[in-house]
Amino acid sequence: MSVIISPSILNSDFLKLGESINMLNRSEADWIHLDIMDGVFVPNITFGLPVVAQIKKQATKPLDVHLMIAQPEKYIDAFHDAGADWLTIHFEAATHLHRAIQQIKAKGMKAGVALNPHTSVTSLEEIIQDVDLVLNMTVNPGYGGQKFIESSYSKISRLKELIIKKNSKALIQVDGGVDLNNIKKLRDAGVDSFVVGTYVFRSADPISTIHSLKTI
């Protein structure tokens, strides 16, 4: 399977959001990543349901929605209605994770669970067979443009081992500090899907940059 590139619009120019979505539609990007932050679970606030719904009207790629919010289970139906195709919630934020994953799947979405850098992959032992994706944060969630956490490679390798051991079909996704300097090493460690924000949207030619990431 070729790598899955999911550019994060958090790093785009929000005054030209429609242009950014059209650019991603034309590119080789596989998904469009939407970071939803509430200022409670993480120290930042981004955008909410109305923006997701407007992006869905224009996007031709699946919406990869990452909820960095408290009590994510309260908003599963709403994000489905807004157009999420993949919905990822945090292990650290969901009190009843298994129930929330089942809620997501019942709405016909792909279900993901995210791990903060300090959270061990062993936390997923009892849920790994039920999820479609595990998002391993390779920076501390809340802001774009942070430096990649180098210990992530070994954590990803352990996650891959757990997926194989449990006969899970879950994809591994990473978010934070991904660029051409580390994407091959991450791929070799077992990553399937890459969230890329700053590296794409601050490049001179985002479409060419996405192509370079796709052809590692």
Regarding beta strands 171-175 and 133-137, do their DSSP bridges make them parallel or antiparallel, or are they unpaired?
parallel
What the block records as the tokens of 136 is 């391993």
To the query of whether residue 81 is one of the catalytic residues in this protein, the response is: no
35, 64, 132, 192: which one is catalytic?
Answer: 35
Which of 136, 145, 127 shows the shortest CA–CA distance to 173?
Answer: 136
CA distance 15 to 106: 35
d(CA 150, CA 105): 33
Clarify whether 35 is annotated catalytic. yes
Out of 30, 38, 132, 175, pick the active-site residue: 175
Where would I find the H helices in the chain?
17-26, 49-58, 76-82, 97-106, 152-165, 183-189, 198-201, 206-214
Strand partners, 194: 5, 174
180, containing H or E segment: none
**Residues annotated as part of the active site:** 35, 175
